[in-house]
Amino acid sequence: MKFICSSNVLSEACANVQRATSSKSTNLPTIEGILIKAENDRIMLTGYDLEVGIITSVEGRVESTGSVILNAKILCDILRNVPDETVSIECDDRLICKIRSGDSEFSIMGFSEADYPELPTVSGGFPIVISGELLKDMVKKTIFAAAENDSKVIHTGVRFEVTSGNIRLVAVDGYKLAIRNEKLDYSGEEKTFVVPKKTLNEVIRLIGDGVETVSLVVAQRHILFECGKYVIVSRLLEGEFLSYKSAVPTTAKTEVKIKTRSIISAIERTSLIITERVKSYVRCIFDNDSVRISSTTALGTANDRTVADIQGERVEIGFNNKYLLDALKVCDTDEVVFRLNGSISPLIIVPDSDNTLIYEKSFLFMVLPVRMN
């Protein structure tokens, strides 16, 4: 195998594919590498850690076809530092690869393609096609609520519900819930599946300039994302997802309409005395057309206030400041509505207070309160 191509183009592609290779030493060193295949003036690159795979290709002048697996970290480090605009990679029958660029030359040992794990084949019926920017926005507004570590692995992903004309994303852990709804030009069969957080982080990272649409192909246990020049293949999470519709309160004793930026700023100011080492909660009092926010730690106290339109009962309630800010910072409306049912019931954040079903609004965030002293 021998090919010549742009060093910058190959470096960028390898850096993206590297993210799907295993970063830990394993008994299977091939999954720590990138599979390189050269044919028809295209260089195919594949990274796969047995959970997520990323595939792409770059243009080049292929002088002889072939394939090899090279350690991803070493390859990417070399490509980032080569001195010339072009790079050539030549591999002999013993899988010894020469990488040349300008006056620099490297010789590294590769592995045979025969030792590379086979990626799952993903084929389905009607593909789901969605705007790249819309998918990125929906994922960013829900993924923060997915669990980092959970006894139920399925909650470490984001649930997709695709029906005729609509797509809904849902994420939940033990403290917060996020729901995002959008219209979708789709008329195929209804699909429900849960995608790991790691996979979605890679998908939205690869949605860049020029990626107008993303195509999703869903199989029974795997999913494929076609995202511009990249294909991402991932396993799906299995298990019983939270019955979120029964977990979301549909009525409210107190409704608070408030400026989004105003409440974020007030919480941020009162959080200045809360640190990783000195933890506490923020206390919120909703009463008399204002929200009073305070916190007390070993470092001192902080108090703030912001105006609001409050309808209903007075409420005094405490929250983890980070969970509350995570939800508020992804709200893309000038105003939000807080729905409350006392000091021990969860807070619901929605864009408006109209009569649409609560979990069918464009976004919904639920944050559980903390027990106050």
- Domain range holding 222? 129-244
Regarding whether 330 and 263 lie in a shared domain, the answer is yes
pLDDT of residue 356: 78
Q: Are the C-beta atoms of 195 and 223 separated by less than 8 Å?
A: yes
Residue 144: inside a domain, yes or no? yes
Report the half-sphere exposure of 331 (CA within 13 A, side-chain side). 27
Regarding whether 291 and 183 lie in a shared domain, the answer is no
Cα angle: 64, vertex 65, 70; to 5 degrees: 110
Regarding whether 356 and 280 lie in a shared domain, the answer is yes
Regarding whether 363 and 255 lie in a shared domain, the answer is yes
Regarding whether 194 and 141 lie in a shared domain, the answer is yes
pLDDT above 80 for 343: yes
Residue 327: phi and psi, rounded to 5, are -70, -45
Which residue matches tokens 């939000």?
A: 336
Rounded mean pLDDT of the chain?
Answer: 94
pLDDT above 90 for 370: yes
Mean pLDDT of 294-315: 96
The CA distance from 26 to 13, in Å, is 24
Residue 373: inside a domain, yes or no? no
Q: Reduced to 3 states, what is the DSSP secondary structure of residue 25? A: coil
pLDDT above 80 for 126: no
Higher pLDDT pick, 373 / 158: 158
At which of 188, 219, 244 does a domain end?
244
Mean pLDDT of 154-177: 96
Regarding whether 62 and 150 lie in a shared domain, the answer is no
Residue 216: inside a domain, yes or no? yes
Give pTM, 2 decimals. Answer: 0.93
Regarding whether 95 and 29 lie in a shared domain, the answer is yes
pLDDT above 90 for 42: yes
Indicate which CATH number applies to the domain containing 281: 3.10.150.10
pLDDT of residue 316: 97
The percent of residues above 90 in pLDDT, for the chain, comes to 88
Residue 122: inside a domain, yes or no? no
pLDDT of residue 278: 83
Residue 353: inside a domain, yes or no? yes
Regarding whether 65 and 151 lie in a shared domain, the answer is no
Residues 184-210 pLDDT 10s: 999 888 999 999 999 999 999 999 867
Regarding whether 204 and 191 lie in a shared domain, the answer is yes
Residue 320: inside a domain, yes or no? yes
Closest listed residue to residue 367, CA positions, set 197, 194, 173: 173
Residue 121: inside a domain, yes or no? no
Specify the pairing of strand 282-287 against strand 363-367: unpaired
Residues 352-363 pLDDT 10s: 877 778 889 999
At which of 214, 244, 274 does a domain end?
244
The percent of residues above 70 in pLDDT, for the chain, comes to 99
Domain count, the chain: 3
Q: Are the C-beta atoms of 214 and 223 separated by less than 8 Å?
A: no
Question: What residues contact residue 33 under an 8 Å CB cut-off, 6+ apart?
Answer: 21, 69, 70, 71, 72, 75, 110, 111
The pLDDT confidence band at residue 149, using thresholds 50, 70 and 90, is confident
Q: Range with the lowest mean pLDDT among 101-110, 159-168, 207-216?
A: 207-216
Regarding whether 293 and 231 lie in a shared domain, the answer is no
Backbone region of residue 342 per phi and psi (left: phi > 0; alpha: psi in -120 to 50; beta: other values)? left
pLDDT of residue 54: 98
Residues 255-287 pLDDT 10s: 999 999 999 999 999 999 998 888 899 999 999
Residue 123: inside a domain, yes or no? no
Regarding whether 275 and 237 lie in a shared domain, the answer is no
Q: Are the C-beta atoms of 94 and 112 separated by less than 8 Å?
A: no
The pLDDT confidence band at residue 211, using thresholds 50, 70 and 90, is confident
Mean pLDDT of 157-168: 96
